[in-house]
Structure 1
Amino acid sequence: MRIALVTSHRFPEPTWRDEDTPLVARELRARGATCDVVTWDGGERVEWAGYGAVVLQSPWSMWTRLPAFDEWLWDRELDGTRLLNPLDAIALGANKRYLSRLGTAGVPIVPSTLIEEPDPATLRAVFAASDASRPTVVAKPIASGGALGAREFTVEELSALVAYLRELGPALVQPYVTAIDAHRELGVVTLDGTISHAVTKAASLRPGDTARAFHPDPQPYPGLTAQQERVIHHAYAELRKLLVNEPLSVRLDFIIDPASPSGLLLLEVEMVAPVKFLPLFPEQCANYAEAILARARS
């Protein structure tokens, strides 16, 4: 069985690291698979359809080259490549408009305003909903990952926010939820529709710091509560309704907010090529490799 793990020739930021792929490759090879780590954008000639599965691990340069990545995906569709995640999950995950659809379905989400054309009155309303202890908003591209392009603004910076949104095009604007500073972010990794493992992470945006940490300080989460599991299962069930195919693996990112009725607020879902923090979870890494091979054989 031949498996391709897809990465990038160069990541968008020097701090970005892919620590999952070497471990996944080792687990696949230990199970008798031929495993190649290849770039989608490196220019080498690759017979993609010759692999039993082509797994998107870290093709993260895509966020700065979306038209080229879309073309690459279309080529894989035409040549019959088995992509993991499936193409419908990749397409949905590459556009954060899914978040409002999940919110409409009753999933507790971080309040999110889609901005097509920035309007100061609309933006002032978002500021009005922010926490008094940190009355800021976060603007992020509609298509992004790893906090790439996310910027925090105060109301005094409204004109700069408007200019930035015009630069971005379609974007999401969210009030900064201060619960993340005290209670951290919860990342829940799924495998074939079930919860595999969970981590907490520190906030990526830090006051007075323009740098964007890449999944800072990940730690295994000691145990999901029954309430948290209900929220997670509800979020995944509603996400699944938006898809034709079961994803191999996604990561649902929540803010832990004990003051909210649900206790969790969905921030986003990484569906294209989620970091899975596998160095912290060797058993789950083995399970992930087994799931890849099962998909490739099916």
Structure 2
Amino acid sequence: MRVALVSATAALGTDDDEAFLLPALRAAGADPAVVVWDDRAVDWAAFDVVVLRSTWDYTMRRDEFLTWVAATDAVTRLRNRPGVVRWNSDKVYLRDLAGYGLPVVPTEFLSPGDRPALPDGVPFVVKPTVSAGSRNTARYAPGEQDVARDHARRLLDRGRTVMVQPYVASVDERGETALVFLGGRYSHAVTKDALLVPGERATEDKLFATEKLHAVQPSAAERAVADAVLDAIPFPRDELLYARVDLVLGADGEPAVLELELVEPSLMLPQAPPEAAGVLARTIVALAGPDRQER
């Protein structure tokens, strides 16, 4: 069976997961290829399964990307599915998670035409709701409202929705905990060191931010929150090829959701147990099923 691992032109050769997933797919009997999502020469129907991996430029062309996602799923098996991608590719989904009663980092959303209202007396983060890799994202200290307001206005003037969150202090000490699920089941967890540097201004020059990662054993509370997130969303968790739940510790010491990654998350396979790549590969191969016409 043929499997497409979908990337972006600028991301080719930069996905650390590929070095583990490609040989695992071959060992599972698949013929994998890394292809670019907007390459018009690709015949997507020639693949049995198409897996979104390093499509990290989609945030700058979301509408075009979603059109491609729907068209590709119509001729093959795309994972994760179009409905999942549409819902999760705009971080307004955090509002849904909070509405489900899940612990979410407090988030204010600003729409084009809104007057930016920013926190006073606490550090905070400003970023667009359609973003990845820390692009157009910055951390501001108390007293930096003017420069932060300019940042928000630039995004709003370009028709983008903006999100404002308090900067969670625990990130500087212990980072974020990213819990990875494969086929709906917990696989492994990694800590990510703090990325946002005080005084560093927002930029869209980089395709992704370089992360410092460390394998970690999540706490029982972190596992419980991550499981609750996947059980609450409007998609069956066992139909998700992959999922990553990024948590931080709030001021009360309890885990809170910073992001839920269902589109093209790094799965941190270099930091994962040795069997993780094989589990993912076999799950991908199983998607074709005995009847390859069923989607």
Tell whether the structures are fold-level matches, with TM greater than 0.5.
Answer: yes
Contact kept in structure 2, 1:86 and 1:245, CA below 8 Å: no
2:192 matched to 1:192?
Answer: no
- Alignment deviations for residues 82-135 of structure 1 (CA, whole Å, 9 cap, x no partner): 111111111111011110111121111111001114435x32xx335xxxxxx2
Q: Which moved more, 1:28-37 or 1:195-204?
A: 28-37
Normalised by the size of structure 2, how large is the TM-score?
Answer: 0.87
Give the structure 2 partner of residue 231 of structure 1. Answer: 225
**Structure 2 residue corresponding to 1:251, chosen from 236, 239, 244:** 244
Give the structure 2 partner of residue 161 of structure 1. Answer: 148
Q: Which amino acid aligns with 1:178?
A: A
The 5 A counterparts of 1:1-298 are 1-11=1-11, 17-41=14-38, 43-77=39-73, 79-116=74-111, 117-120=113-116, 122-123=117-118, 126-128=119-121, 135-168=122-155, 169-210=160-201, 214=209, 216-221=211-216, 223-239=217-233, 241=234, 246-257=239-250, 259-260=251-252, 263-281=254-272, 282-297=274-289
Q: Supply the distance in 2 between the matched residues of 1:295 and 1:234 (Cα, whole angstroms).
A: 25
More helix by share: 1
Q: Which amino acid aligns with 1:25?
A: L
- Alignment deviations for residues 140-167 of structure 1 (CA, whole Å, 9 cap, x no partner): 1111112222112235332332332232
Contact kept in structure 2, 1:138 and 1:150, CA below 8 Å: yes
SS at match of 1:265: strand
CA spacing shift, 1:219–1:286, aligned 2, 3 Å:
same
SS at match of 1:292: helix
Point out where structure 2 has 5 or more consecutive residues left out of the alignment: 291-295
Contact kept in structure 1, 2:70 and 2:82, CA below 8 Å: no
Q: Supply the distance in 1 between the matched residues of 2:224 and 2:63 (Cα, whole angstroms).
A: 38
CA spacing shift, 1:235–1:260, aligned 2, 3 Å:
farther
Deviation of 1:243 after TM superposition, in Å, equals: 6.2
Give the structure 2 partner of residue 131 of structure 1. Answer: none
SS at match of 2:265: coil
Q: Supply the distance in 2 between the matched residues of 1:187 and 1:249 (Cα, whole angstroms).
A: 13
CA spacing shift, 1:249–1:160, aligned 2, 3 Å:
same
Q: Supply the distance in 2 between the matched residues of 1:199 and 1:162 (Cα, whole angstroms).
A: 33
Contact kept in structure 2, 1:185 and 1:201, CA below 8 Å: yes
SS at match of 1:172: strand
Q: Which amino acid aligns with 1:180?
A: V
Q: Supply the distance in 2 between the matched residues of 1:170 and 1:250 (Cα, whole angstroms).
A: 24
Contact kept in structure 2, 1:180 and 1:203, CA below 8 Å: yes
CA spacing shift, 1:38–1:154, aligned 2, 3 Å:
same
Give the structure 2 partner of residue 132 of structure 1. Answer: none
Q: Supply the distance in 2 between the matched residues of 1:245 and 1:226 (Cα, whole angstroms).
A: 21
Deviation of 1:33 after TM superposition, in Å, equals: 1.1
Q: Which amino acid aligns with 2:248?
A: I
Give the structure 1 partner of residue 293 of structure 2. Answer: none
Q: CA RMSD in A?
A: 2.3
CA spacing shift, 1:165–1:242, aligned 2, 3 Å:
farther
- Alignment deviations for residues 265-293 of structure 1 (CA, whole Å, 9 cap, x no partner): 11011111110110122211111101111
SS at match of 2:10: coil
Contact kept in structure 1, 2:230 and 2:237, CA below 8 Å: no
Q: Supply the distance in 1 between the matched residues of 2:237 and 2:268 (Cα, whole angstroms).
A: 27
Aligned residue pairs total 280
SS at match of 1:60: coil
Point out where structure 1 has 5 or more consecutive residues left out of the alignment: 129-134
